[in-house]
A = this chain, B = another copy of it.
């Protein structure tokens, strides 16, 4: 059960995540381990090995909206970005390592992919609700909780501490706010003791309180059997 592994090499995160989403055979894991070891950049359906990437829409007048993040262990280009519809750009926010996703594997691997796709859609829905109906304060909290959970799936979140390698400007472009206002809300949360952050690391001392504030509903990861 790799779910409780500590942070270590780049592909551990991916293995953690995929085997959290479905039951993988030892052969699947071996196949993944081989591929992940190479880490060559691809444009095919891929897996993020390490780093943060973002799907972005840029407006002609310079406004920018981050549509979603691609975190370690998450998949790119499966159901998405079909030929004629590529109005969105995927760009790396940090150093990113990709690798091609194994196309055929066991039913377990296919299930992990499918589940990953469902999760992606789930996060899109949550992002919409966040932008449409939450205050700036709530948006920040809700987003932090989501990122905590997503990183936890890959084992990159340790006891409500995790790394967020974003500028406040990028965060603003995610949450539909200005960087100035993101700054103010972050300070408020810090003053209230609801977040502790230093050098890109974030800790949530009282997650239960945060979840209550935003009526947070985690994505339930329940294997089909």
| Chain A residues engaging chain B, CB cutoff 8 angstroms | 55, 57, 59-61, 63-68, 79-85, 87-88, 114-115, 117-119, 121-122, 124-129, 131-133, 173-176, 215, 217, 219-222, 224
Contact = CB atoms under 8 A, between A and B. Distances in A.
22 contacts: A59-B133, A61-B215, A64-B133, A65-B128, A79-B117, A81-B118, A82-B114, A82-B115, A83-B222, A84-B222, A85-B118, A85-B122, A87-B125, A87-B217, A88-B125, A127-B128, A128-B128, A128-B131, A131-B131, A132-B173, A132-B175, A132-B176
Nearest to A118: B82
B84 A219 contact: yes
Given A65-B132, A83-B224, 13 more contacts: A55-B125, A57-B125, A65-B133, A67-B129, A79-B118, A80-B121, A83-B222, A84-B219, A87-B125, A124-B128, A128-B131, A132-B176, A133-B173
A220 B84 contact: yes
A79 B121 contact: yes
A83 B114 CA distance: 12
A118 B117 CA distance: 12
A132 B131 contact: yes
A182 to B, nearest CB: 13
Nearest to A220: B84
B215 A119 contact: no
Contacts of A67: 125, 128-129
Contacts of A132: 65-66, 131, 173-176
Nearest to A125: B67
A67 B128 CA distance: 6
B133 A176 contact: yes
Contact of A131 (B64, B79, B114, B176): B176
A15 to B, nearest CB: 21
